[in-house]
Amino acid sequence: MIPRAALARNGQRALQWQMRSNNWRCLATAASGSFSYEIGDAGGVKVASRDLPGPTTHLAVVAKAGTRYQPLPGFSEGLEKFSFKNTWKRSALRITRETELLGGEYSSYHSRENLVVGAKFLRDDLPYFAELIGEVISQTKYTAHELHEEVEPNMNFSRKELLGNPLEFAMNSAHGVAFHRGLGNSLHPSSSTPMTKYLNENRLQQYSRVAYAKSNFAVVANGADHQELSKWINEFFTELDQSPPQDFPSTGTESTKYYGGEERIAHDSGNTMVIAFPGSGSATGSSYKPESQVLAALLGGQSNIKWTPGFSLLSKATAAYPQAHTATAHHTYSDAGLLTVSMYGNADQIRQASQEVVKAIKSVAAGNVGREEIKKAVAAAKFKALESGQNMNTGIELTGAGLVQGGKAFQIDELGKSIDTVTEDQVKTVAKSLLDGRATVSTVGDLFILPFAEEIGLNV
């Protein structure tokens, strides 16, 4: 017989376990709420916010001023590097010291479509940082000495970083081959770009009025009450044009067209090959195709689990070539996308692995992939998309871009539902369409060994 004392102890443990399980279920229910943004307008400025519980806030201006829309090379990066410099009210030193005293941090960056200027801070400091960001985008001094002594040297560092990274260099090249102008514009001016011919403080001042016109940007916040945020936007975002000045040329507004082709660049710092195909546009636009994201997850290549090679199609297909690191990604833009398979490492192994990559895509197009594989890919694509949207930085940029481009904020709940509807036939169809069209291939490194697109069975 089991002693009563043992029974009593086991009963207490069972009761404790049940109470813990109930608590966990309650916590899970509370944490599974919506991540949707509340949308509004404050003094002609598009505003989106979600009042997430917590003591901190992330506030940012997302402007339609990425490299796609810049009229001349270097303008987007120039505006980015001028952020939080001297304004007509405060010096850069004062801005830095006040931000440090409040325990906050500010940042700015640009992508192919957007320029993001923002700050993270304690929730109670929203009035100060709303005023500061409004001041930065409307009253920055674009002076010649700051341009030549601080902005241009930093731009040169970014350029050298790009040139010294074969993978980023090849990805930049792939965008140029795929889209030519617009989305194909380089993220950083190349070493052969005559900067002094295009960039000066007066032109940057003029372009700032285009980039920061009220119709051209949105204010997005995580961890802020919508009514309070709208109140401060109304107060501090008044000294801005409602629309961009008509006397300044507008570029990048035409619909994106995919071209495809091949570019080969000799490089002595490493070997990279990027194979790319047209993908899906943003979920806030009309060119959204969730099956492209599922195909990217199905191909995979880079394991999500430590110490394992992974079980995606490309993980298995390239297992014999461990020195050729393979990864699939999907780059999403407002009206287009680019599905990329990148390989970097040993040139001989990249040559062999690239043939296996094309065979894997052909196997998907032929319907030789099991239903269970598609089901796993749908789950992986959904997780990646939702994780990306839940990420503060990515979610803010996607939401702001959606508001500016089409008046619709990025809603994470709707995205998950659309990926769930993808079928096996849709994935097969999109894979077949990629092979029937023109691929984009950018090769950087030892060109004597690295293959041409035709050698691995691709049409360019």
Query: Mind listing the pLDDT tens digit for each residue in 54-84?
Result: 999 999 999 999 999 999 999 999 999 999 9
Residues in the chain predicted with pLDDT less than 70, given as ranges, are 1-35, 192, 389, 409-413
Using an 8 Å Cβ cutoff, are 162 and 187 in contact? yes
In this prediction, residue 22 carries a pLDDT of: 44
pTM: 0.87
In this prediction, residue 24 carries a pLDDT of: 39
In this prediction, residue 430 carries a pLDDT of: 95
Using an 8 Å Cβ cutoff, are 427 and 374 in contact? yes
Using an 8 Å Cβ cutoff, are 306 and 374 in contact? no
**Rounded alpha-carbon distances, angstroms, from residue 158 to 99, 151, 211, 268, 313:** 25, 11, 22, 19, 35
In this prediction, residue 132 carries a pLDDT of: 97
In this prediction, residue 35 carries a pLDDT of: 63
Q: How far is CA 4 from the centre of its chain?
A: 62
Query: Mind listing the pLDDT tens digit for each residue in 108-143?
Result: 999 999 999 999 999 999 999 999 999 999 999 999
User: End-to-end alpha-carbon separation of the chain, Å?
Assistant: 79
The neighbour count for residue 57, using CB atoms within 10 Å, is: 25
- Report the C-alpha gap between 457 and 321 in whole angstroms: 19
Of 279, 256, 78, 267, residue with least CA distance to 169? 267
Query: What tokens appear for 149 in the block?
Result: 């002594």
Kindly give the residue spans of alpha helices, DSSP state H, lying in 237-341.
Answer: 290-299, 313-317
Question: Following CA atoms 255, 275, 261, 358 in sequence, which dihedral angle do they give, to the nearest 10 degrees?
Answer: -120
Query: Mind listing the pLDDT tens digit for each residue in 3-43?
Result: 545 444 544 544 444 444 444 334 333 333 456 788 999 99
Using an 8 Å Cβ cutoff, are 237 and 127 in contact? no
- Report the C-alpha gap between 126 and 130 in whole angstroms: 6
